[in-house]
Every structure is written in C-alpha cells, then in structure tokens.
Structure 1
Amino acid sequence: MSGTFNPALRIPTKRNLELLLLAFAVLVVISAEGAVEAARDGHLSSHLVTYAAVPLAAGLVAHLVIRKIARYADPLMLPVVVLLNGLGLVMIHRLDLGLKTQAAQNGQQFAGAQAPTQVVWTALGVVLFLALLFVVRDHRVLQRYAYTLALVGVFLLMLPAVLPARFSEVNGARIWIRVAGFSLQPGEFAKTLLTIFGAAYLVQKRDVLALAGRRILGIDFPRGRDFGPLLLAWLLCIGVLVRGHDLGTSLLFFGLFVVLLYVATERVSWVIVGVLLFAGGAYLAYQIFGTVQTRVEVWLHPFDPRYTDTAYQLKQSLFGLGTGGIFGTGLGGGHPELVPLATTDFIIASFGEEIGLFGLIGLLVAYGVLVSRGFAAGLAVRDSFGKLLACGLAFLIGLQLFVVVAGVTRLLPETGLTSPFLSYGGSSLLGSWAILALLVRVSDAARRPATTPPGRAVTTEQPAVVA
C-alpha cells in the first residue's frame, strides 16, 4: 500500500489569522472610542459598549460565514474593513459630541446625531455582504448577466439626472434620490454593476481591442473603429457631468474604464487616449458649467476674498490639518466639527486634525493593504473575468480615496466623493460592503485548490492518502 500527498490539499485557510486580526481591529476601535470619551467627558460611558459591540458583532458574524462558505478567502480584507468602518463610526460619534457642545454654547438643541444611523447602516451593510456571499457562490456566474447588470447600472446612474431638482439636487450636484425624508445615492451601486459589465465585456473583446493600429512615436495606437467602447464610456461620463454636475462620479467611472482597458490589453496607448479624452472633457466642462468653474477657482484661490463663503469648507479643512500637525490634537481634543460636512466629504480632514500626519498615514496604509490585497486576488485567480473584476473593484476603492484625499488637501478640486467605509452615509457604506463581498469571493477562488468546489473546503489537518 503506497500513498502520495496532494499538495493542493495542504493550502492553509488562514481563518485563525483573520480572527486574530479582527480582535486587534476591534481593540483599536475600542481604544479610539475610549480616548474620545475620556477627552470629551473625562470618563467612560455606556456608549463605549455600543461602539465596541458594533465592530465586534460585524466582524465575528462575517468571519463565521466566511469560515463556512469562503474558507480560502484573503484573511486581511475583512479585518481592515472592520477597522475602517469602526474608526469611521467613532469619528462620526465624536463629531456628534462636538456639534452638541457647539449647539449648547449657542443656546440651541442638537437633534441631528448621525452615529446611531450609521450603526444601522453598518448592520445593513454586513447583511448585504453576507447575502452576496450566499447568493454569489462563484463570481463567474456574474458574467452571464453582464448586459442586464449594465442596463440596471446605467439606469441607476442616470435616474437622479432626469428627476426634478427638488428630488435629486444637493449642493449643486444632482446625484441623489430624496423622497419622504429618505435619501439614496444610486451611483454608489451603479459603479459596482458597471465594473462587472466592463470586466465581462473586455474579456470577450480583448483580442480585438489589443490589435495594433497606427504606430506614432513608438507607441501602437488602436484602430479608429476600436475606439467605440472608450468613446461610449466617455460620452456616458460627459452625460452625467452635463446633467448632474457631478465631476467626481464622472472621473471615477472614466478612470475605471480606462484602467480596465489597460489591464485587459496591456497597451499604454489606451491610457494616453483616455487621459486626452478626459482632459478635453474637463476643459469643455470648465468652459460651460459655472459650478465647475467655481470649484476650480476655489481650488486655485481658496483665500481670495471673493470666495469667502464658497471656500469656507476648504479653508477650515486646511486649518484643521495644520492644527493637527504631525501627531494631532488627540481624539476628542480638536474641533473638526467646525468643518462643514465633516462626517461625509471631509472626514479625512477630521482624522487629520486629531490623529495628525502619522495617524493619517496609518489610515491610508490600511486602505493600501485593502487595495493591494484586491489586486493580489486579481493576479492569482485563474479566470480572466475574475482578474478584471478584482482589479476593477480594487482600483475603484483606491481611485475614490485618492480623489477624496486630494480634494481635502487641495491637490485637486473638491469633487464631493466620500471615503469608503469611513464616511457617513448609507449608500456609500452599502456599496462598499458589496465591493468587499465580491473581492472576498474572488480571493476565495484564487486561493482555493482547483479540485475544490466553491463554498466547500478541504480539511487541512492531515494530508490525504491515496492507496
């Protein structure tokens, strides 16, 4: 009787490592909430239990489900997301405390606490994450419904633009659906659906799009008749910009499609053409739309007396970052509540003021880990659709964060995008958890032994012996 070892059966699931990292993430969140309460009230309160239980419950439930149906998934993604979501919840609670104190000083009642609502959105985000893991047992199934998902995505993207302004416009941008006190930003879901379509489409058309065209300055540019997909994406983004005045979403979608083209074809010429098209579209938008002109002028001249009101948010953000310096004022020790929309567009500035440059770099490193693990899953998965899907979703998170940080620090004009997992808002949080679910599913397929069906794992304690 002779036995041979199957190397595929010895791949570790690393679920215990994930559990250990989750415990560390929850400990960091608890410490952050404790620091806020100690600084603001001088003692710990019952809120500490609430804001400790949320990341603990979210992480533990998600971990148990992953251990059951996606055992080979990347062990770093979930802990990083629990850390970011938990810290975002702590900062939103801290801003609520600051606004409450500010209202009391002005003799007013404060009834706009956002942290309890964010707790509910976090719970719903985890539910959506789990539902997608149960429904999408194999990410390749999504490829069959690519065109249907694309139609739904375009519908969601264009819906706010065709609604009357009273139902869709906030701060000059028509990107919302507001009915009976309830608001939803459908573009947060459209970006995931269109990423799935882009990955499926480019898998089918990759060979055609990679054909050489005319060679200019040593670079092979694509043929004119192959520009259709890029021009269609450009026109869609310009349409969103024209009707909705939403520069951020236009930049996000167009950048996503250009990167998917580059990953699919490995041709730099697509990037060059994409950058030229976007530059032309941005210049055209600047010439036509007053809102775009105002944002650019505020970006270039934030301290100009002409923009005292319109540049107030950016100036307060810069003052806050300057006050925080290298080490920050300490959680609960600054005044980030003085920045308008501090819980949404400018939550990065709130963190920068209270945890300083070093703390902010640590936060960005956490995002970098999440994005890099998404790219790693895309590189390791065996099918082309999974590669493009994971790279596209990871790039979405990275590009959105870059645009947000660049707007807060005045590297680029402010676009109104939110920080994934950190910022207040149900649409953003639900969309981010949906992206995480798909990345977890792709990473599970990438690390799973080729002979193991999706949703099942092979026992790793003892190697299999074949008689």
Structure 2
Amino acid sequence: MATVAEIRVHQGRRSEVALLAIAVMIAVLARGLVDYHADVLELRDLGLYALTAVALATTAHLVLRRYAPSADTVLLPAVFALNGIGIAMIRRIDFAYAERGRDTTFGNVQIGWAILGIALMIGVILLVRDHRVLRRYTYTAGLVGLIGLLLPLFPVIGTEINGARIWIHLFGRSLQPAEFAKIALVIFFAGYLVTNRDTLALAGPKILGIRFPRPRDMGPLVLVWLASMLVQIYERDLGTSLLFFGIFLSMLYVATERLSWVIVGLGMFVAGAAFAGTVFAHVHSRYEAWLHALDPAVYASGASEQLVRGLFGMASGGLLGTGLGEGRPDLVPYAESDFIISSLGEELGLTGLMAILTLYVIIVQRAMRTAIGVRDGFGKLLAVGLGFSLALQVFIVVGGVTRVIPLTGLTTPFLAYGGSSMLANWMVVGLLLRISDQARRPSQVVT
C-alpha cells in the first residue's frame, strides 16, 4: 500500500508533465508568431522545432524521474518557458536586424546553447548524486571562483568588450568566466559559513541593541569586499561586483540571522563604490550616464544613448505591447543581449514583462522553499545562495534597463543571448533540482 508521501510524488510527476507541456506550447507559439509576422512561417520548420522542444523536455523529465524522483516539479517548467520565450525573441531580433541589412544568426546559436545547457543540467543531476559531497571542496571551490573572476585581467586571454573587461578568448570563442565563478563561490560561501556561523552569529559587542561583529571575525567580509571592488575598478563591471557581494551578504545574513552584518556590508559597499566613482574616471562616467541619462550633452556623447533608447522602446510598448514581431527592437544597441528586457517590454508590454518577472519569482520561491525543506545546513545555504544569485542577477539587469541602478553588463538569465550565462544558469537549475530531491524525498516508512 502506497504511503501519502509516495502518492504526492506520483501526483507531482503528473503535474510536472502538464506544466512542461504548457511550457513547450509557450515556446512553440512564440516561435510561430515571430515567423508569421516575419512572413517566413513554414509548418515543417515549426514542427521540427516543436519536436526538438518536446524531446528536450521529455528527456529532462525522464532523467529527473529516474535519478531525482522527488525533485521540485515546478522549477524545470518555469525555466523551460523562460528559455523558449528568450529564443523566440532573439530570433525576432535577427529578423529586425535583417531588415536593416545586418545578417545575424543569434537565434539559431542560442538554440545550440540551450541544448548544451540542458545537457549540462542533466550531467549535474547524474554526477552530483548528493549535494553534501560538494562541501568537501569548499576551499577548492573558493580558489576556482577567485581565479575565474580574475581571468579577464590576465594578458593574452583577457579582452575588453563594450568598455568592460569581463571576457576571455579561448579557441576562437568569447567566454564570461564570472558566470561559472559565481557557482563555485556560492559553494565556497555555503561551506565556510556553515562551519563558522556560530562564531559569526554569537560573538561581538552590542551597540544600540544590535550585536556587531568583532574586527577579527570580519576577515572574510573584508576579503570579499576587496575582491568586489577589484572587479568594479579594474574590470569595469559594476554588475558582477554587486552580484558577487550581494550573494555573500545574503548568505551571511541567512547563516547568522544578524542584521548588523548586512548594515556593515552595505555600508562598506556604498563607501567603496562612492570612492571608486570619485577617483576613477571610467567608474565616474558610468554613474554620470545613470544620473543624467536624459541630459542632452550626456546623450549626445553616446554615454546614455543605449539606455534612453531602451526606455523609449518600453514606453512605446505600453500596457499590452506592439505584438510579438511588430516592434522595432533593432533601434536599441545589443537588443539581443544587454537590452532584451526592453525588447520584450516593447513587444509584450508591461503585462508581458510582469508575466516574465512572475516566472522568475516562481523560480526563486522554489529555491527558497527547497532551502527550507532540506535538512542539512550546507544544503540550506547552497540553495539560498543559488536562489539569490538568480534573483540578484535579474534585479541588477532589470534595474539597469529601467534606470533604477547604473547600467551593468550582466545578462538576463535564460532570456538574453550568451552561451556563458545559459550554461552556468542551467547548471544552477541542476543543483537546485538535486537539493530539492533531498528536501522532498519521502521517509521510508513500511506500511
């Protein structure tokens, strides 16, 4: 006789199949609308695309049911839907560029990255049978993460693109190592904090009722702060700097439950960013483009042109958008990558953007729910760190495009064009699914 927990697992499997079917339909419908409005709709090509999407979703589902049967049933469909929307929008931008005489194949390349990303997610599920094994590699992961962050500064392989030195060239391809470094650093933070959280949480003087850390316990915070400032100043990448430091602060707060760490950390980051903006000209120019984006002189210099065009693009979309395939995303530089949010805002409107952001909220919520359910401290912090890494990345990108914060060079997870982001974030999903399998696994009760 089946237990209640086993019944719930079987129900979850059926619900995942239904949700994956909806995600596949969203991806195929978006692709069909793009091709229809571009007058290139071929039922055979659309059918082949649909079969590919079904095959990928089915393969991922079967692997999960075999090797992680209790894994979260909502996470994969939500990510699959986002990926499908992103691929369709990038293909739409290819057509928009073609109308202006620029031939690009971003959409087809992105399909290849998505397939490889799903394969990596499956690889993570197969290789990492127990997430607790990763704790053994705490300091190795920390070293790998720091090397990944610093690789773009190395001569020969490091390269500067669009004013940010965050890329390396290997085998004729550009790679953004920070995307993979964030995974390694989350593993390091989780392992370090779960070992030292008692000291970090309980020691230190009280000031105005708030217990502040002792100076000798602030070593890790200072090191992470220095590394983030180095990234901002020498790599000219505010986004990675903010993401890196924000992940550490969020995990530190969850580990210690002490608001004082957040107060001290935010104060250090704001002071460091203000100092860098005053002393270093390239950092100052980024802040000026943010604060005075609509100033005619700043716009004429080209510093805020991309940002302003993106804002006007989203404004023209209004509440319901111009329709998928009916806008002008080609007027915004790098519409397929840095500014895909503004492209989607123009053609899907505020309503479509809210739906997309809701999918991100669902993904982060499932990560936090996994953190609550898993029994070991390392797994809790790892799930929190991975969930916050996605949440912060979306906030940094959307905040930059909407001028809430200075514009950065990060990519929107699962939506924007880029192989590094696609591969790394699918690996994040694989780790979250593995942890959720441990968290949701039914107790072995004989009935």
TM over 0.5: yes
Matched residue, 1:126: 118
Matched residue, 2:297: 306
1:273 to 2:264 alignment = yes
Cα deviations by residue, 1:342-365 (Å, 9 ceiling, x for unpaired): 111111111000000011000000
SS of the residue aligned with 1:137?
coil
Which aligned pairs between 1:311-390 and structure 2 lie closer than 5 A?
A: 311-390=304-383
Amino acid at match of 1:142: L
SS of the residue aligned with 2:226?
helix
Cα distance in 1 for partners of 2:443, 2:286 equals 51
SS of the residue aligned with 1:176?
strand
Cα deviations by residue, 1:326-382 (Å, 9 ceiling, x for unpaired): 000000010012111111111111100000001100000000000000000001100
Cα distance in 2 for partners of 1:11, 1:34 equals 36
Deviation at 1:80, TM superposition (A): 0.5
Cα deviations by residue, 1:416-436 (Å, 9 ceiling, x for unpaired): 111001111110000000000
Structure 1 or 2, whichever has the larger Rg, is: 1
34-43 or 337-346, larger mean C-alpha shift? 34-43
Amino acid at match of 1:197: F
Cα distance in 2 for partners of 1:337, 1:152 equals 38
Deviation at 1:122, TM superposition (A): 0.9
Deviation at 1:15, TM superposition (A): 1.2
142-151 or 426-435, larger mean C-alpha shift? 142-151
Matched residue, 1:191: 182
SS of the residue aligned with 1:326?
coil
Within the candidate set 7, 27, 30, 1:29 is matched to: 27
Matched residue, 1:147: 139
Within the candidate set 396, 400, 411, 1:403 is matched to: 396
Preserved CA contact (<8 Å) 1:345 1:418: yes
Cα distance in 2 for partners of 1:224, 1:251 equals 23
Matched residue, 1:412: 405
6-15 or 314-323, larger mean C-alpha shift? 6-15
Amino acid at match of 2:252: L
Deviation at 1:260, TM superposition (A): 0.6
What TM-score results when the alignment is normalised by the length of structure 1? 0.92
Cα distance in 2 for partners of 1:38, 1:5 equals 49
RMSD: 1.7
Amino acid at match of 2:180: F
Cα deviations by residue, 1:71-102 (Å, 9 ceiling, x for unpaired): 10010000001101111000000000110111
Which aligned pairs between 1:28-47 and structure 2 lie closer than 5 A?
A: 28-41=26-39, 43-44=41-42, 46-47=44-45
Amino acid at match of 2:200: L
Which aligned pairs between 1:79-158 and structure 2 lie closer than 5 A?
A: 79-103=77-101, 110-158=102-150
Preserved CA contact (<8 Å) 1:374 1:393: yes
229-238 or 367-376, larger mean C-alpha shift? 229-238
Cα deviations by residue, 1:27-48 (Å, 9 ceiling, x for unpaired): 1111112222222217555442
Preserved CA contact (<8 Å) 1:55 1:85: no
SS of the residue aligned with 2:100?
helix
395-404 or 169-178, larger mean C-alpha shift? 169-178
Cα distance in 2 for partners of 1:131, 1:6 equals 31
Matched residue, 1:48: 46
Within the candidate set 383, 387, 412, 1:394 is matched to: 387
Within the candidate set 279, 285, 288, 1:288 is matched to: 279
Cα distance in 2 for partners of 1:101, 1:199 equals 49
Amino acid at match of 2:272: G
43-52 or 194-203, larger mean C-alpha shift? 43-52
Within the candidate set 422, 426, 432, 1:429 is matched to: 422
Matched residue, 2:64: 66
Deviation at 1:8, TM superposition (A): 5.1
Matched residue, 2:206: 215
The verdict on how the C-alpha distance between 1:441 and 1:180 changes in structure 2, with shifts beyond 3 A counting, is: closer
Deviation at 1:190, TM superposition (A): 0.3
Within the candidate set 221, 230, 234, 2:225 is matched to: 234
SS of the residue aligned with 1:227?
helix
- Percent pairwise identity: 50
Preserved CA contact (<8 Å) 2:94 2:103: no
Preserved CA contact (<8 Å) 2:97 2:103: no
Show structure 1 runs of 5+ residues with no match. Answer: 104-109, 452-462
Preserved CA contact (<8 Å) 2:151 2:158: no
Cα distance in 2 for partners of 1:252, 1:330 equals 33
Matched residue, 1:172: 163
What TM-score results when the alignment is normalised by the length of structure 2? 0.96
Within the candidate set 206, 216, 240, 1:225 is matched to: 216
Deviation at 1:242, TM superposition (A): 2.4
Cα distance in 2 for partners of 1:7, 1:302 equals 58
How many residues get paired? 444
Preserved CA contact (<8 Å) 2:336 2:416: yes
Deviation at 1:171, TM superposition (A): 1.2
The verdict on how the C-alpha distance between 1:5 and 1:50 changes in structure 2, with shifts beyond 3 A counting, is: closer
Amino acid at match of 1:367: Y
1:206 to 2:225 alignment = no
SS of the residue aligned with 2:38?
helix
Cα deviations by residue, 1:99-139 (Å, 9 ceiling, x for unpaired): 01111xxxxxx432111111111111011111111100000
Preserved CA contact (<8 Å) 1:173 1:246: yes
47-56 or 370-379, larger mean C-alpha shift? 47-56
Deviation at 1:306, TM superposition (A): 1.9
Cα distance in 2 for partners of 1:27, 1:71 equals 24
Matched residue, 1:12: 9
The verdict on how the C-alpha distance between 1:42 and 1:115 changes in structure 2, with shifts beyond 3 A counting, is: closer
Preserved CA contact (<8 Å) 2:60 2:118: yes
Deviation at 1:218, TM superposition (A): 2.0
The verdict on how the C-alpha distance between 1:180 and 1:203 changes in structure 2, with shifts beyond 3 A counting, is: closer
